[in-house]
């Protein structure tokens, strides 16, 4: 069977040649040195497994995604220009370097004339959200990472179907991976009612089907251009406040009423354009100004030229002079963020990281322990939430606060599309401060011995899990 040996030899040579080509691509394109070294080693020595994995997990940019605020695409750029013209009267002047950097990362201005409402209870959040949707008279925009076919998911579907049948335009966008269990009947009922829906991420170009590592992690609801909801809550029963395995579910969401809603709407338009190639045709609405709270909408993701969310977290660390409190269900920071946290603590800032005692991912939980030796000696405090599973994503840096979808991990830094509301409004900052103080009371302060006294195999598992941090 000499010919079979030649075929096998040819396949081996082909894989090694492909590994070398992809290694060059990784050298030129991978964002971090750690990721570059890992991929090059794997592609050289294990090309049979590494080449297919590289196509799925090694992409560094979300190919083809258009940033309307920074692009030359005629359709989106015109829509963005219209939005900016409408927002111009509400732009707020300021002299904050932190806010200035956030505006540069966002491509959007700080906007006044808003009312900001904080939600810390899942049921109250969905009650308010459903009321807003039911009150819409013109259009509703919905974008979720996870949408399940369960009690709360069915309730939302019924409301969207009813609104569409009543003549309200409804656009629904959901992540292809996060919402991959939606049954066809669930979607068919919405289609029959006139709901416009699309999955995000793997359905526009043939090569985008290989971009499984990128996810639209945003949670957005916009009603008539007047109200918007963003934050940590997806559409699933556990977000009402209870998970069958993790117990009490602690999350944070916010409602925005006012001009900043249009900035959220522009972000939705960008995502919809990627998924469908079209822009929703929403009729213009009168922009309300219920109060004078200011907020900046910060969308971030792998289509950005910079690692926008990672830079925002680093800037929050650098800005802080008295306190830096960060709540996230996942603590797997990269080298830049780790160093910024250490530097803040060393100059006397009260740096607190709030994470769950029990995570919904064992690998992520192990990886978090691996940072104890590195950051606790510098004065960084890690609190573990004891009441249940903590899923909120909140940053409090002195008198600046953000609430949104971004976590303290590499996936949010470089792979996920996120959206965050960022403000220095005194009233809202005070609310978030009290909320976090209550969360700390229900948490335990970690000690370095919590890691050092673990068995060697546990520490080995933690270190091994940390090696997977680029994709956790």
- The answer to whether 248 and 389 have CB atoms below 8 angstroms apart is yes
Active site annotation includes 95: no
pLDDT, tens only, 391-447 = 999 999 999 999 999 999 988 998 899 999 999 999 999 999 999 999 999 999 999
Residue 18 has pLDDT above 70, yes or no: no
The active-site residue out of 60, 163, 175, 224 is 224
The active-site residue out of 79, 253, 393, 459 is 393
The topology under which CATH files domain 68-296 is Endonuclease; Chain A (3.30.870)
Read off the pTM.
Answer: 0.89
pLDDT, tens only, 51-72 = 566 655 555 555 555 555 555 5
Res. 288 pLDDT band, cuts 50 70 90: confident
pLDDT, tens only, 88-117 = 899 999 999 999 999 999 999 999 999 999
Active site annotation includes 398: yes
Active site annotation includes 224: yes
Structure tokens at 110: 């700080």
Active site annotation includes 393: yes
Active site annotation includes 22: no
The active-site residue out of 198, 217, 253, 459 is 217
**Which pLDDT does position 207 carry in this prediction?**
46
Active site annotation includes 391: yes
The active-site residue out of 73, 150, 154, 398 is 398
The topology under which CATH files domain 308-467 is Endonuclease; Chain A (3.30.870)
222: β partners: 141, 228
**Which pLDDT does position 9 carry in this prediction?**
55
Helix H, strand E, coil C: the string for 31-92 is CCHHHHHHHHHHHHHCHHHHHHHHHHHCCCCCCCCCCHHHCCCHHHHHHHHHHHHHHHHHEC
pLDDT, tens only, 234-281 = 999 999 999 988 999 999 999 999 999 999 999 999 999 888 888 898
């Amino acid at each position: 069977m000499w010919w079979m040996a030649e075929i096998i030899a040819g396949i081996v040579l082909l894989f090694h040649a492909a590994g070398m080509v992809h290694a060059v691509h990784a050298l030129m394109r991978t964002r971090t040195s750690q990721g570059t070294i890992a991929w090059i080693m794997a592609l050289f020595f294990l090309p049979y497994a590494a080449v297919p994995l590289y196509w799925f997990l090694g992409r560094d940019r979300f190919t083809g995604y258009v940033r309307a605020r920074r692009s030359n695409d005629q359709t989106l750029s015109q829509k963005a220009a219209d939005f900016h013209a409408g927002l111009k009267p509400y732009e707020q002047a300021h002299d904050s370097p932190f806010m200035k950097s956030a505006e540069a990362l966002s491509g959007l201005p700080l906007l006044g004339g808003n009312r900001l409402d904080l939600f810390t209870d899942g049921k109250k959040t969905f009650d308010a959200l459903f009321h807003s949707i039911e009150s819409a008279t013109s259009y509703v925009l919905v974008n979720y990472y996870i949408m399940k076919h369960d009690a709360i998911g069915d309730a939302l579907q019924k409301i969207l179907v009813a609104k569409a049948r009543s003549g309200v335009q409804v656009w629904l966008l959901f992540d292809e991976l996060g919402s991959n269990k939606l049954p066809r009947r669930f979607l068919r009922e919405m289609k029959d009612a006139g709901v416009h829906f699309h999955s995000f991420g793997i359905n526009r170009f043939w090569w985008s089907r290989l971009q499984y590592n990128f996810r639209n992690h945003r949670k957005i609801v916009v009603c008539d251009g007047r109200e918007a909801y963003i934050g940590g809550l997806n559409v699933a029963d556990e977000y009402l406040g209870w998970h069958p395995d993790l117990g009490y579910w602690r999350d944070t969401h916010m409602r925005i009423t006012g001009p900043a809603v249009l900035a959220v709407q522009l972000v939705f338009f960008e995502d919809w354009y990627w998924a469908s190639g079209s822009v929703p045709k929403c009729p213009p609405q009168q922009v309300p100004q219920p109060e004078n709270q200011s907020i900046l909408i910060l969308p971030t993701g792998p289509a950005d030229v910079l690692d926008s969310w990672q830079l925002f977290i680093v800037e929050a660390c650098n800005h802080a002079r008295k306190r830096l409190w960060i709540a996230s269900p996942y603590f797997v920071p990269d080298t830049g963020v780790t160093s910024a946290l250490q530097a803040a603590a060393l100059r006397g800032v009260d740096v607190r990281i709030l994470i769950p005692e029990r995570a919904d991912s064992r690998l992520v939980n192990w990886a978090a322990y691996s940072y104890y030796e590195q950051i606790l000696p510098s004065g960084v405090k890690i609190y573990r939430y004891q009441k249940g599973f903590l899923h909120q994503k909140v940053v409090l840096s002195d008198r600046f606060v953000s609430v949104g979808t971004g976590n303290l991990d590499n996936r949010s830094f470089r792979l996920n599309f996120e959206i965050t509301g960022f403000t220095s409004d005194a009233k809202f900052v005070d609310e978030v401060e009290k909320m976090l103080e209550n969360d700390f009371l229900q948490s335990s302060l970690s000690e370095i011995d919590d890691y050092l006294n673990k068995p060697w195999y546990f520490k080995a598992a933690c270190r091994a899990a940390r090696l997977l941090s680029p994709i956790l």
